[in-house]
Each structure stands twice: as C-alpha cells, then as structure tokens.
Amino acid sequence: MASVHGNISNSHRDPLDLPILSKTYTVYHYNYERNAAMAVHNHLHQIEAVMRHHGGELWPIFEGKPGAWRCGNCHFPVNGTKDYDYANKTFVESDIEDWRPEGFGTKQRINCDKWNGDDMKWYVYWMQSIPGAENGLTYQQKKLSNWWEFTGDYDQAVRRKSKLTE
C-alpha cells in the first residue's frame, strides 16, 4: 500500500518499491496457480496491517492471542493452535459472534464446523465480526466507529483522524 500518509502495508515496507501518488492505492499480487482463497488471504493481511497500525489497544483485544483468541485473524481461527489451522475440530468457548471489547459478549462452543473447515469460509466469517457501521458497541464508554472505513476509504479515514472509537 502506497500512500502520502505512509506505507501501511502487508509488505517489507520498502520506501522505494511503489511510487507515492496523491491518493492511497494498494497493489496485490495474485498467484494464479493457487486458489481464490489465497487471494482473499492476501487481502485479509492488508486489513490486519492497517488495523494494527491504527488500532491502538483495541485491535489486539479484537484478535486475542494464542491460546486465548477472541476473533482470531487471517492465520488463526478462534480455536487455532497453529498457522492455517482452519480444520481444527477442537471446541473452544468464543464470543466472536457477539464480540465486545470489554469481554461481555455471549460465548458459545465453536469449532471448525462453523466454517466447514474451509479457509475461505473462515475468512468470510472472520470479516463479519469486524465492527461496521452503527455496530452499537462501546469501549470505555466510547462508541466504536465503523472499522471498515479504513478499508473503504483510507485517505478519508486518515484525513478525519479516525480511530476505532468515536
């Protein structure tokens, strides 16, 4: 991702690899010998890069950590114990469908059956947990913003000094 606002990308962040233009753009490389899920996988890594840059303390709360995943991430579903563990049959208690930053969401027993052990279905399921417009969530008495703004219009999000809370 090349931007007048800095290089916030899923790359080595080489300052000379892409020209800086007046608007942000992201370049994706698709390996046509691999499946569509790998293309989506790359897009998720870009979302993670942006959110890790702008997410402050909230993004790590959203993801969780090994052994205590909340919503997980591109490589780790909520019950994942290793990278790409999309077909893990082990059940865990997870609040991914009712994620609330302070941990008050309803938990349910969940395993890979929820996404049929399929990586592409995990990606869709995971993206559905990212707070969107009018999500009704709060963190420390502040409303959560639409986190998709960073993906939909990065330049506007930066100009507005958007955060994960309003």
pLDDT confidence band for 17 (50 / 70 / 90): confident
Please report how many Cα atoms fall inside a 13 Å half-sphere around the Cα of residue 96, on the Cβ side.
29
Number of domains into which the chain is organized: 1
Biggest alpha carbon–alpha carbon distance for the chain: 48
Instruction: Give me the pLDDT at residue 13, please.
Output: 79
Q: For the residues 26-34, what does the mean pLDDT come to? A: 84
Dist. CA 5–CA 24, nearest whole Å: 8
Residue 114 DSSP SS3 = helix
Proportion of the chain above pLDDT 90, given as a percent: 77
Q: Distance between CA 28 and CA 31 in Å, rounded?
A: 10
Strand stretches in the chain, DSSP E: 64-65, 68-69, 92-94, 108-110, 138-139, 142-143
Could you list the residue range(s) of the whole structural domain that residue 70 is in? Answer: 57-146
- How far, in Å, CA of 141 to CA of 152, rounded? 26
Whether 68 maps to a domain, the answer reads: yes
**Is 67 a member of any domain?**
yes
Asked if the structure places residue 84 within a domain, the reply is yes
* CA–CA gap between residue 163 and residue 154 (Å, rounded): 12
38-91 pLDDT, tens digit per residue, is 889 999 999 999 999 999 999 999 999 999 999 999 999 999 999 999 999 999
Distances (CA, A) of 163 to 19, 108, 109, 149, 160: 26, 29, 32, 10, 9
Mean pLDDT over 14-34 rounds to 85
**Residue 155, in any domain of the structure:** no
User: For residue 11, is pLDDT > 90?
Assistant: no
**pLDDT value of residue 76:** 97
Express as a percent the part of the chain with pLDDT over 70.
Answer: 100
- Model-level pTM? 0.91
Please report the pLDDT score of residue 75 as a whole number.
96
Looking at the domain assignment, is residue 133 inside a domain?
yes
Q: In this structure, is residue 22 part of a structural domain?
A: no
pLDDT in tens, 90-125: 999 999 999 999 998 999 999 999 999 999 999 999
Any domain includes 20: no
Query: Is 101 within the bounds of a domain?
Result: yes
